[in-house]
Homo-oligomer: A and B are copies of this chain.
Amino acid sequence: MILGHADLVTLLFGLGALLAVARLLGEAAARIGQPAVVGELIAGVLLGPTLLGAIAPELYAQLFPATGPAAVGLDAITRIGLVLFLLVAGIEVDLSSVFRQGRAAAFVSAGGMLVPFALGVGAGTLAPHLVGWEGRGDPLVFALFLGTALSISALPVIAKTLMDLRLFRSDLGMLVIASAVVDDLTGWILFALLLAAIGRIQTDFSPAETVFATLAFAAGMLTAGRALLHRVLPGVQRLFGGPGGILGFSVALAFLGAAFTEWIGVHAIFGSFLVGVALGDSSHLREHTRATIHQFVSAIFAPLFFASVGLRIDFVRNFDPVLVLAILLIACAGKLLGCGVAARWSGMQWRESLAVGVGMNSRGAMEIVLGLLALRSGLIGERMFVALVVMALVTSMGSGPLMERILRRGRPRRFTDHLAEGAFLPRLEAASAEAAIRELAAAVCAGAGLDPAPVTRAVLEREETQSTALGAGIAAPHARVPGLAAPLVGLGVSPEGVDFDAPDGESARLVFLILTPEGDDASQIEILGDIARSLLDPETRERLRTAPTRAAVLAELKRAG
């Protein structure tokens, strides 16, 4: 028996308390529109040296001892949690959508990488003490780390923010996500290389060997590994019958990948992140498996890990206001400038470009993980770590409300304003997504005196890049139409449901067709958002499905508010 009776009591009470408080505050954060990670971190601060350790040091020491088997157990569990969190983050990375976004994504991600990196390295070289260098180690290494830390993105937080704003499947959302994917991937590879180059982890390998192995592993996973997994997954799915088959396979693979990267001298999470990227890109990884692992990790392991971050550091004593402000300013300047200008160059309007910059500015959980690893490997001190955490929280918390503010000025437009007579089809005959689009486009164009052929083509092309299904039986195919003066909306009800490849697998019974003037991104986003918001209530969806006329639709939506 390795963990004794008393150790097990300590470990279980500690885990229970940590998880309960982290979930509670995480949910509280979510309810005021903030990422859950904010609340989860605060849970650790409350149970850690900052609060509990200050007011009840004995209870703190008993719940979370610093050494001994219970401490090792908690450390092992939170580290496994981190490995699983990065697996999920990797699964969310959609490499193919990056290629689809093409030039704009290349611009924005390059801008979002190069400008913050240059600012970070510059500040670290010119004024190292101002930005947290504590006189230990090579200031160049510190400057390189700062550059990397500022250029990284927080894909999970960005994705969550865009989903909350109902922008995830809009063109602007897809651009931000694609760029964040590139920055995330590059940032982590840079960080891994940096760790390897300075040989800070004690391994059997020379820094050069580690760098080579890291690059080879990353390149291999993103090309051959990705293709191999895509080919192997159907077999695995056949071999492992139940829904848990792929789940166990993915987690075992993540453990092995993590073990490998840790072994060659970069951090374990780099391995599980790349395993996640390679897995998540395969269309054979079923939505159900993604959802199960995502839910379990974000309800159990992520809260445990982020709460545990606060357990070892005193956030009050290590809070240095000048440093926090300096880091925050450089961080925001880098992303807003880099991404905003790049977005404008790639042809977007100023308002949307600013929204892209604000969206890319969230650092969230990823920055905290990076900071923790840097702290553990001695690259930075506790003051700098606290500054990075605060910067990550502030940028994540600000991004949602700011984007909303920038994109939605004045009275929000209702989609019903653009639903013309004749554009409501109470019984779609189509049995496929394509047929449904054709049927709706014909009706909408007939009413507006447009040629349906080019409109249909544009909508189908958009649909091909990524499904516009919103889930819950709703799909919203859309396109920009040159020469249109105002938006046009059509609504068709399919009694049997049409398969739009929805994230939740539900076939679409309410199909909205949205046509907006070219260049007017805001109206597309507003209409999409309004549809999503108006149909949150299942009862409203149910009633729309049986509405006989356009007038009944408008009345129902007015009633629902």
Contacts and interface: CB of A to CB of B under 8 A. Distances in A.
B295 A12 contact: no
A351 to B, nearest CB: 31
Nearest to A204: B6
A5 B378 CA distance: 14
A201 to B, nearest CB: 5
A252 B16 contact: yes
A300 interface: yes
Contact of A75 (B2, B13, B244, B303): B2
A557 interface: no
Contacts of A72: 2-3, 69, 72-73, 76
A522 interface: no
Interface stretch (A131-139, A253-261, A401-409, A475-483): A253-261
A11 interface: yes
Contact of A249 (B3, B23, B293): B23
A348 interface: no
A243 B291 CA distance: 10
A83 B300 CA distance: 14
B76 A247 contact: no
Interface of A: 1-3, 5-6, 8-9, 11-13, 15-17, 19-20, 23, 27, 30-31, 67, 69, 71-77, 79-80, 83, 201-203, 239-245, 247-249, 251-253, 255-256, 258-259, 262-263, 268, 292-293, 295-296, 298-300, 303, 376
A12 B83 contact: yes
A299 B16 contact: no
A247 B73 contact: no
A248 B27 CA distance: 11
B376 A20 contact: no
Given A72-B69, A73-B72, A75-B3, A13 B259 contact: yes
A12 B19 CA distance: 23
Contacts of A80: 15, 77
A12 B249 contact: no
Contacts of A74: 76
B69 A8 contact: no
A197 to B, nearest CB: 17
Contact of A30 (B12, B69, B79, B241): B241
Contact of A247 (B11, B262, B299): B299
Contacts of A298: 244
Nearest to A376: B1
Copies of this polypeptide in the complex: 2
Contacts of A9: 259, 262-263
Contacts of A8: 79, 262, 268
Contact of A3 (B76, B263, B296): B76
A400 to B, nearest CB: 16
Contacts of A13: 255-256, 259, 263
A388 B315 CA distance: 52
A546 to B, nearest CB: 11
B244 A71 contact: no
A247 B296 contact: yes
A263 B7 CA distance: 10
Given A9-B259, A239-B27, A295 B252 contact: no
A31 B239 CA distance: 9
Contact of A258 (B12, B239, B292): B12
A127 to B, nearest CB: 30
A365 to B, nearest CB: 15
A259 B12 contact: yes
B76 A245 contact: no
Contacts of A303: 248
Contact of A23 (B12, B202, B252, B295): B252
Nearest to A254: B16
A292 B72 CA distance: 28
Nearest to A375: B1
Pairs of residues from A and B, 3 with the lowest C-beta to C-beta distance, nearest first: A73-B76, A244-B299, A16-B255
A27 B71 contact: no
Nearest to A303: B248
Contacts of A75: 2-3, 73
19 contacts: A3-B72, A5-B203, A5-B262, A8-B262, A12-B258, A12-B259, A12-B262, A13-B259, A15-B255, A19-B255, A23-B248, A27-B239, A30-B241, A69-B72, A242-B295, A242-B299, A248-B299, A292-B292, A293-B296
Given A202-B5, A295-B243, A376-B1, A248 B73 contact: no
Contact of A19 (B15, B76, B248): B248
A300 B247 contact: yes
Given A76-B76, A77-B80, 5 more contacts: A2-B71, A16-B255, A27-B239, A243-B295, A244-B298
B243 A79 contact: no
A256 B12 contact: yes
